[in-house]
Amino acid sequence: MIWQLARVVDRDADRLTLAFSAPETCERCARGAGCGAGVLNRMFTRHESRLVVPARLAVSAGEHVRVGLEPGHLALAAGLHYGLPLAAFLVGAAAGHTAVAGSPLRDAAALAFGFVGFILVARFVSRRLQPTLNPVVEHLSCSPDDTNSFSSE
């Protein structure tokens, strides 16, 4: 299992909303030895990630939990969300390059076709292909005080 600490930010009868800390609070990311999420986070300036899961635990807003994913499920989700749009970009670029052979705009067409293919497939994946990750959520009996935890609000 791959584990990440989270804080419960909202709870209703059947759902928990979990917030994950920004990767820059991770000691491994600060050393440059992390998983690389910190680089992507800085590109898009997201401060925390949120996830809504079924409420199977008796926890309240403000409590800390840990969330685990099977590596295979995570790899599948990454392949769908990153690999398919990349493949669509490459296929679109090749199609655009071939479609306007001999034209001085050949490279621009390849780039435009690739970009359109990327956007279409990325939207399709985000709306239609949602793999079931089945995260395991476990209650922490105390407030974690490691480098990837949240401060109280």
* Residues 6+ positions from 36 with CB-CB distance below 8 Å: none
Query: How do the residues of the chain divide into helix, strand and coil, expressed in percent and rounded to 5?
Result: 45, 20, 35
Residue 44, SS3? Answer: helix
The pLDDT value given to residue 45 = 53
Report helix, strand or coil for 149: coil
Q: Which residues of the chain have pLDDT under 70?
A: 22-47, 130-131, 142-153
Residue type, 150: F
Burial, 49: exposed, middle or buried (Cβ in 10 Å; 0-12, 13-18, 19+)?
Answer: middle
Q: Per-residue pLDDT tens for 121-144?
A: 999 998 887 667 778 888 887 655
- What pLDDT does residue 133 have? 73
Q: How many CA atoms lie within 13 A of 112 on its CB side?
A: 9
pTM for the full predicted model: 0.60
- The tokens for 102 are 């001999």
pLDDT at 153: 41
